[in-house]
Amino acid sequence: MNKFIKLPVILSTITFLTSGLLMLSESATHEKIAEQKKLLLLTSLEQLIPPHLHDNDLTVNTREINEENLLGHRQVQTVYVGTLNDIITVVAIPVTARNGYSGDIDIMVGIKSDGEITSVKILEQHETPGLGDLIVAHKSDWIKQFPEQSFNTVQQKDWKVKRDGGQFDQITGATISPRAVTMAVKKALLYHQHHFTANHNKEKIETKKEKKP
C-alpha cells in the first residue's frame, strides 16, 4: 500500500478502535453507577421506612412519578410506600436538587403520614470532596439535622440554611451544597403535604379496596 494512504488508514483505525473502547467503558461505568445507586437505595430504605412502621413489601407498593417542576426529576422516579394494615404510614420520596455546586444531587426523603421526616439519604452527588460532599452521612453529621423535623417544628418560611435566614446549619465554606439539599427536602415535604396527607391517603385506600372483587 502506498505510504501516503497507509498512514491515514492506520491512524483512522486506531482512532476508531479507541473511541469504540471509550464508548464501551463509559457505558459500563454508567451501568455500574446505576447498580450501586440501586443497592444504596435498597439499604437506605430500611432507614427511610423503618421496619416497625410497615408490614408490606416495599418493592411492591411503589408509585412511578416524574415531577420535573415540583421535585426536579429528569426521568421517571419511584416513590416507595410503607403501609401498616393497608394504611399508608411512611413514604420515601425521591427529589433531585439541580442547584448543587457540581450538578444534580439525588436525594430520598422518608416522611411519615404526620409530615415528620424519618431520614434523608443522598443517593448520588458530585460535590467537591472535603467541601460539598460533607452533605453525605458518612462524611459528616450535617444531614442528621433533618430526621424528626417537619413543618410543625420548622415553619415553611424558615426551611432554609441559616446563611439565608433559615433554621438549618450550612457547612462552613460550602453553603451551596447544603442550601441545595435543604431546599430539595422542603420540596419533598410540600409534595408529601399535597399528595399523601391523611385525607388523600384515605381516598387512595378506599379506591384500592373498591377495586377488590
Ligand X SMILES: Cc1cc2nc3c(=O)[nH]c(=O)nc-3n(C[C@H](O)[C@H](O)[C@H](O)COP(=O)(O)O)c2cc1C
Cα-based distances in Å from 169 to 68, 97, 158, 177: 27, 18, 12, 12
140 binds ligand X (CB under 6 A): no
175 binds ligand X (CB under 6 A): yes
Q: Stretches 127-135, 152-160, 190-198, 200-208: which one binds ligand X (CB under 6 A)?
A: 127-135
Taking the least distance from each CB to ligand X, the nearer of 96 and 170 is 170
Q: Locate all alpha helices (DSSP H) within 49-133, ordered by sequence.
A: 68-71
Separation between Cα atoms, residue 100 and residue 137, nearest integer Å: 16
Which triple of cell numbers denotes residue 114?
404526620
Write down how long the chain is. 213
Size of the site for ligand X (CB under 6 A): 13
Taking the least distance from each CB to ligand X, the nearer of 182 and 201 is 182
Query: 75 with 108: CB under 8 angstroms?
Result: no
- E-strand spans in the chain? 62-65, 77-84, 87-100, 103-112, 117-124
Single out the residue of 72, 110, 132, 166 in contact with ligand X (rule: CB under 6 A): 132
Q: Stretches 7-15, 43-51, 65-73, 169-177: which one binds ligand X (CB under 6 A)?
A: 169-177
Taking the least distance from each CB to ligand X, the nearer of 44 and 170 is 170
Taking the least distance from each CB to ligand X, the nearer of 20 and 130 is 130
127 binds ligand X (CB under 6 A): yes
Residue numbers at the binding site for ligand X (CB under 6 A): 101-102, 127-128, 131-132, 170, 172-177
